[in-house]
Amino acid sequence: EVMLIIFSYLDEQDLRKTAQVCKRFQPISNDHYLWKKLYQSVFEYDTPLFRTENCNFDFFTREESEHHNPWKESFMQLKKVGENCSPTINHCIIRSSSGVGVAVCVSGADADPRIHHCDIGIYVTDHAQGTFEDNEICRNYLVDVRVKNHANPVMRRNHIHCGRDVGISIFDNGLDFFEANDIHNNRIVDFEVTTGTNSSVVQCEIHHGQTGGIFIHEKLLL
C-alpha cells in the first residue's frame, strides 16, 4: 500500500521504467488502479478508448477489453503521434492538468501533423515536425510547448499563456520557427532556449512572464 502511494506520484514514462527495475516493482507499476487514475486525470474519460482501425476509436470496458491492463494500453495509444504520421486535427480540446505535462507527443522522423484551432499542450521530439496554427495553448501542468532533439515544428498565431511552468522550452538541439505568437503570463519564463538549439522567432509578442520573458543560456542560435 505504501509503494502504491509512492508510485501514484509518477508520470506514465516513469511508471514504465520502474517496471524494469525489479520483479517486486513490476506488478506495482502495472497496477490497474494507478493507470486508471492517470488515464482519467489526463483524458477525462471514464472508459478506456482504443484505436480499432485507422481513424476510428471505440470505448471498451475493462471486461470487454482483451488487454491485461486496458487503462495503460489506452493511454499509450492515445498519447502519441509516431513516425510517418501526418494527421490533421481541428477544433479539439486536448489539455493536461496532471504530472504528465503536455498532452500530445509528436515523435520520430516524418511525423508531421497539422493541428489548428485546438486547446492543447505540445511536445515535439526526435526529428519530428508539424504545423501548429491558431491554437490556445495554456494552463498545462508543466511546459506548454516543449521542443527537443532536432524536432522542427512551425508555430504560427498561437496563444500560449498561463502555464504552470515555462511557456515554451527548446533544448537538446531543437529547431523551430515561431511566428506571430502571443506568449505571456507563464509561471516561470515565457520562452526558454538552451543546449545547442536554433530557433527562429518572428513578430511574436512575449510579455508579462511571472519570472522573466526570454531565458537564453548555453550554446545556441536565435
How many C-beta neighbours within 10 Å does residue 189 have? 22
User: How far is it, in rounded angstroms, from Cα 169 to Cα 146?
Assistant: 5
Taking only the tens of pLDDT, the chain with its 222 residues reads 788 888 888 877 788 788 888 888 888 888 888 888 888 877 777 888 887 776 667 888 888 888 888 988 888 887 666 667 788 888 776 755 454 456 688 888 888 999 999 888 888 989 999 999 999 998 887 788 999 999 999 999 999 999 888 999 999 899 999 999 999 999 999 999 988 888 899 999 999 998 889 998 876 565
Q: What is the pLDDT of residue 177?
A: 95
Q: Where are the domains of the chain?
A: 1-79, 82-222
C-alpha cell, 213: 520573458
User: How far is it, in rounded angstroms, from Cα 219 to Cα 202?
Assistant: 20
pTM value is 0.67
CATH architecture classification, 1-79: Up-down Bundle (1.20)
